[in-house]
């Protein structure tokens, strides 16, 4: 008597006091029935631990994240208890468990992501068993998966003795191309035993097959990484190597997928926004830059290294001070003329084009502009720019002179209203017949904020000061 009741008695001690009705139980039998808990879909041995598998809590769920466990190891579990919260493809749903026992081990901790349906997430043991030393049943997921995948393929063949191998049209084509003579050898993972294109691709990779048709010869080797619109770098700064984003070459050849970085995506978004929302208009002018080049040489001779770009920046700053309309922001309704001239200088980095700002460019000396620009360019290439160093600005200059580009148009950087695209200097005969260096600049401006006259006035001033750089000393 004692031994039989002892088993029950122990459990009643565990739960007495939980519900008052238990106190009236004359046979001291707890209301919980003894049952051997089974979890059918993972192999189990009688008297061994019971595996708990990841449930599909919504019909479209294939994997989920375990958000929170409501039970700790060693907690008793009764049918209907909350076991854990699972993030499905739709919402966070609580997984109620219908089994009874003790939670022995939690195999997937909180915040485990991408747990596949059917994989083991915990182990339970029956009440009274030693949960601390519970053995983890060998996960026969691979075997059960293999068996489930073979079941659907065996099911139709069991019904129809002469079942064809089902394959998708793409898979069939690939098999022909790669000369896979016996389709049965390709392991199928599609529904009802269908061979997918992915299955054939995997088979090709593992078997190292090669195509048998002529297209193989025409496979283009992967081209170099830089696909950013090339932008100026100051001649004296050295590019810092950065890890380029990965390229995947598809085995069929002919095209490459370049993974986009976050920066590229942001650039793409902003450029699209700008080009579609802002009515761009263009004016260009040619400047004789001999005087400027002579000035530069003089500076270099006296020890200060400045570049053509620095002179251009200063010239633009000077002009912006005089044609203030161009130094503005478009705020949707009104034109905000900026108090200072902050010029964004376009710098090319491995991950994309970024525009650090030379603040108060009109008041800085040429050497100051030079050192600021250089420092900013280095920071930009190292990815160490602070937000205030590249956000803001009232005007942008983009220089492709070092690539030999004669003339190009740039895209405005909103909320700015204009951008100046600077080309290279070309030797051309002047009106008098002498060979002179001419530099073409083209300004893209926001027609909502700036009209043709103002734009032209700006460029006129710019040309004036580029051809007479002594004006910059004022």
Neighbouring residues of 194: CB distance < 8 A, sequence distance ≥ 6: 166, 167, 168, 188
According to DSSP, the residues that pair with 95 across neighbouring strands are 84
Question: With contacts defined by CB under 8 A, how many residues of the chain interact with other proteins?
Answer: 43
At closest approach, how far in Å is the CB of 1 from other proteins?
7
> According to CB under 8 A, which one of 48, 117, 402, 426 is a site residue for other proteins?
117
Q: How many CB atoms lie within 10 A of CB 473?
A: 9
Burial (CB count <10 Å: 0-12, 13-18, 19+), residue 206: exposed
Cα–Cα distance for residue pair 289/426, rounded to 1 Å: 10
**453-463 in b/e burial notation, b at 16+ Cβ within 10 A?**
ebbebbbebbb
Give the binding range for other proteins (CB under 8 A) out of 35-43, 255-263, 388-396, 451-459. 35-43
Q: Which pair of tokens denotes residue 242?
A: 């950065």
Give the binding range for other proteins (CB under 8 A) out of 37-45, 128-136, 274-282, 287-295. 37-45
At closest approach, how far in Å is the CB of 346 from other proteins?
54
The answer to the question of residue 39 lying near other proteins (CB under 8 A) is yes
According to DSSP, the residues that pair with 167 across neighbouring strands are 195
> According to CB under 8 A, which one of 78, 149, 196, 437 is a site residue for other proteins?
78
Closer CB to other proteins, 1 or 431, in the complex: 1
> According to CB under 8 A, which one of 6, 17, 23, 26 is a site residue for other proteins?
26
At closest approach, how far in Å is the CB of 34 from other proteins?
6
The answer to the question of residue 155 lying near other proteins (CB under 8 A) is yes
The answer to the question of residue 93 lying near other proteins (CB under 8 A) is yes
At closest approach, how far in Å is the CB of 254 from other proteins?
38
At closest approach, how far in Å is the CB of 78 from other proteins?
7
Round the CA-based radius of gyration of the chain to a whole number and report it: 37
**274-288 in b/e burial notation, b at 16+ Cβ within 10 A?**
beeebebbebbbbbb
Cα–Cα distance for residue pair 83/92, rounded to 1 Å: 13
The answer to the question of residue 80 lying near other proteins (CB under 8 A) is yes
What single DSSP character describes residue 292? H
Whether omega for the bond prior to residue 466 falls within 30 degrees of 0, making it cis, is no
The answer to the question of residue 194 lying near other proteins (CB under 8 A) is no
Closer CB to other proteins, 58 or 284, in the complex: 58
> According to CB under 8 A, which one of 6, 17, 159, 332 is a site residue for other proteins?
159
Cα–Cα distance for residue pair 353/421, rounded to 1 Å: 14
Closer CB to other proteins, 31 or 111, in the complex: 31
> According to CB under 8 A, which one of 48, 67, 82, 271 is a site residue for other proteins?
82
> According to CB under 8 A, which one of 13, 25, 179, 409 is a site residue for other proteins?
25
Q: Using an 8 Å Cβ cutoff, are 185 and 167 in contact?
A: no
CA dihedral 66, 71, 72, 73 (to 10 degrees): -90
The answer to the question of residue 143 lying near other proteins (CB under 8 A) is no
Return the residues of window 45-64 that contact other proteins according to CB under 8 A.
53, 55-59
> According to CB under 8 A, which one of 10, 13, 41, 143 is a site residue for other proteins?
41
> According to CB under 8 A, which one of 35, 132, 179, 391 is a site residue for other proteins?
35
Q: Which pair of tokens denotes residue 335?
A: 């034109």
The answer to the question of residue 2 lying near other proteins (CB under 8 A) is no
Closer CB to other proteins, 156 or 239, in the complex: 156
The answer to the question of residue 75 lying near other proteins (CB under 8 A) is no
Q: Using an 8 Å Cβ cutoff, are 290 and 437 in contact?
A: yes
Q: Which pair of tokens denotes residue 444?
A: 């893209």
Q: Which pair of tokens denotes residue 75?
A: 């907690």
The answer to the question of residue 128 lying near other proteins (CB under 8 A) is no
The answer to the question of residue 19 lying near other proteins (CB under 8 A) is yes
> According to CB under 8 A, which one of 13, 146, 158, 220 is a site residue for other proteins?
158
Sign of CA dihedral 151, 154, 159, 164: positive
Burial (CB count <10 Å: 0-12, 13-18, 19+), residue 244: middle
| Binding interface with other proteins (CB under 8 A) | 1, 4, 8, 18-19, 21, 25-27, 29, 31-36, 38-41, 53, 55-59, 78-80, 82, 93-94, 96, 98, 117-118, 151, 154-156, 158-160
């Amino acid at each position: 008597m004692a031994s039989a009741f002892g088993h029950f008695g122990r459990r009643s001690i565990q739960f007495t006091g939980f519900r008052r009705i238990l106190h009236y139980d004359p046979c001291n039998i707890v209301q919980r029935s003894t049952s051997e808990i089974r979890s059918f879909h993972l192999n189990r041995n009688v008297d061994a631990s019971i595996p708990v598998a990841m449930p599909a809590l919504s019909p479209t769920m294939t994997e989920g994240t375990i958000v929170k466990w409501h039970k700790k190891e060693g907690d008793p579990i009764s049918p209907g208890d909350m076991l854990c919260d699972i993030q499905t493809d739709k919402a966070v749903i609580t997984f109620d468990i219908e089994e009874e026992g003790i939670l022995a081990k939690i195999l997937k901790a909180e915040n485990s992501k991408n747990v596949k349906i059917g994989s083991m997430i915990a182990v339970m043991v029956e009440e009274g068993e030693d949960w601390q030393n519970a053995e983890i049943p060998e996960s026969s997921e691979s075997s059960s998966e293999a068996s489930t995948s073979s079941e659907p393929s065996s099911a139709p063949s069991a019904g129809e003795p002469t079942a064809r191998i089902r394959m998708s049209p793409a898979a069939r084509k690939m098999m022909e191309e790669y000369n896979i003579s016996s389709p049965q050898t390709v392991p199928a993972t599609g529904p009802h035993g269908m061979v997918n294109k992915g299955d054939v691709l995997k088979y090709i990779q593992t078997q190292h097959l090669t195509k048998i048709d002529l297209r193989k010869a025409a496979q283009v080797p992967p081209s170099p990484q830089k696909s950013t619109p090339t932008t100026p770098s100051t001649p004296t700064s050295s590019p810092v190597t950065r890890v380029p984003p990965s390229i995947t070459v598809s085995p069929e050849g002919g095209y490459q997928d370049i993974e986009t970085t976050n920066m590229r995506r942001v650039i793409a978004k902003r450029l699209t926004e700008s080009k579609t929302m802002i009515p761009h208009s263009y004016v260009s002018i040619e400047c004789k830059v001999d005087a400027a080049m002579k000035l530069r040489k003089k500076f270099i001779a006296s020890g200060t290294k400045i570049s053509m770009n620095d002179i251009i920046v200063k010239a633009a700053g000077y002009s912006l001070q005089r044609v203030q309309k161009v130094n503005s922001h478009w705020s949707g309704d009104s034109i905000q003329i900026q108090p200072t001239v902050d010029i964004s200088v376009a710098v090319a980095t491995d991950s994309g084009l970024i525009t650090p700002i030379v603040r108060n460019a009109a008041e800085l000396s040429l050497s100051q502009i030079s050192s600021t620009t250089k420092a900013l360019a280095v920071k930009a290439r190292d990815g160490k720019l602070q937000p205030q160093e590249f956000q803001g600005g009232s005007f942008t200059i983009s220089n492709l002179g070092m690539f030999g580009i004669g003339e190009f148009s740039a895209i405005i950087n909103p909320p700015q209203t204009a951008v100046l695209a600077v080309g290279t200097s070309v030797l051309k005969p002047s009106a008098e017949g002498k060979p002179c260096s001419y530099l073409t600049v083209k300004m893209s401006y926001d027609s909502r904020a700036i009209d043709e006259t103002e734009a032209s006035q700006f460029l006129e001033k710019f040309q004036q000061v580029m051809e007479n750089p002594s004006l910059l000393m004022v």
